[in-house]
């Protein structure tokens, strides 16, 4: 039985932080007429280029014999454990900038929730998706 371990890259996490920064700046511009909302959006923009990439880059995926475990965060850590029998599919999303850097967003679909794992290397995501499409059984 093989255990597969993957980690998110800093480059991939920075790209997702750049997306959040652009969305926050756009919202701050659109909400300019309101009292305190633009300030809140500028705060979100600042956090999206500092705290968000660090949080996303700490993601670790571990695929064992019977479950897939996702751990994220250093200070406020979260752990999501999904039994392989409940995983219904995987998707790999990549923007042109992500394709240039060799990263992607891995989307794991289960019977109850959809989990996004941004910043994963494209080759690792394809390997994990192929493994999960076989029902978690190595052939």
| pTM recorded for the entire structure | 0.81
How many helices and strands, by DSSP H and E, does the chain display? Answer: 4, 7
Q: Is the pLDDT of residue 137 over 70?
A: no
Residue 44 has pLDDT above 80, yes or no: yes
Q: What is the CA radius of gyration of the chain?
A: 17
Helices (H), 2-137: 10-30, 37-57, 96-101, 122-133
> What φ, ψ does residue 94 adopt, rounded to 5°?
-150, 130
For 50-95, how does the pLDDT look when each residue is reduced to its tens digit (9 = 90+)? 888 888 888 899 998 889 999 998 888 899 999 988 888 899 999 9
Domains of the chain: 4-133 (2.30.29.30)
Per-residue pLDDT at 42: 85
**Which among 17-31, 33-47, 99-113 has the top mean pLDDT?**
99-113
């Amino acid at each position: 039985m093989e255990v597969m371990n993957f980690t998110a890259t800093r480059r991939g996490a920075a790209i997702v932080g750049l997306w959040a920064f652009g969305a926050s700046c756009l919202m701050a511009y659109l909400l300019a007429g309101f009292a305190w909302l633009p300030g809140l959006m500028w705060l979100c923009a600042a956090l999206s280029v500092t705290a968000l990439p660090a949080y996303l880059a700490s993601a670790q995926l571990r695929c064992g014999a019977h479950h897939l475990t996702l751990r994220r965060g250093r200070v406020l850590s979260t752990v999501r454990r999904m039994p392989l029998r409940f995983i219904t599919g995987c998707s790999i999303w990549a923007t042109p900038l992500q394709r240039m850097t060799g990263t992607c967003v891995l989307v794991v679909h289960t019977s109850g929730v959809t989990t996004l794992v941004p910043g994963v290397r494209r080759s690792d995501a394809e390997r994990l998706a192929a493994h999960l499409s076989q029902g978690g059984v190595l052939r």
